[in-house]
Homo-oligomer: A and B are copies of this chain.
Amino acid sequence: MLKSTIYVDRAATVLKLLGDKTRLTMVAILKQRECCVCEFLEVFDMSQPSISQHLRKLKDLGVVKEERRGQWIYYSLNSQSDLYGLIEDILEHIPVQTEKIKQIENSNPTLRCGC
């Protein structure tokens, strides 16, 4: 398979973004399931604004997309991005985030108030 290439500038930009443990883990989680901010809050030891800022950076580059559903905004990987193939290949080299997914599903923040 012939991969379409990404200019070095753009590739460096996305690698720098993924070169943060929090964001790399977010992307790994999003590869398995979409998440909203309050779900990420369950697995990262940081404030809600920090989570939002990481997601914003990923969104600004087109790595993730968002979709509002009622009160929540769901984030997912943007498979339409020219960066998607690179990101998929990178994710093959890191462990699947099973523990964090479990944590999210056990806490179920979006179901707390019976919505």
Which residues of A are interface residues toward B (Cβ below 8 A)? 3, 5-9, 11-21, 24-25, 28, 85-86, 89-90, 92-95
Contacts and interface: CB of A to CB of B under 8 A. Distances in A.
Contacts of A16: 15-16, 19-20
B95 A3 contact: no
Contacts of A18: 12, 15, 19
A66 to B, nearest CB: 23
A8 B90 contact: no
A2 to B, nearest CB: 10
B86 A6 contact: no
A18 B13 CA distance: 9
Contacts of A92: 3, 89
A86 B95 CA distance: 13
B90 A15 contact: yes
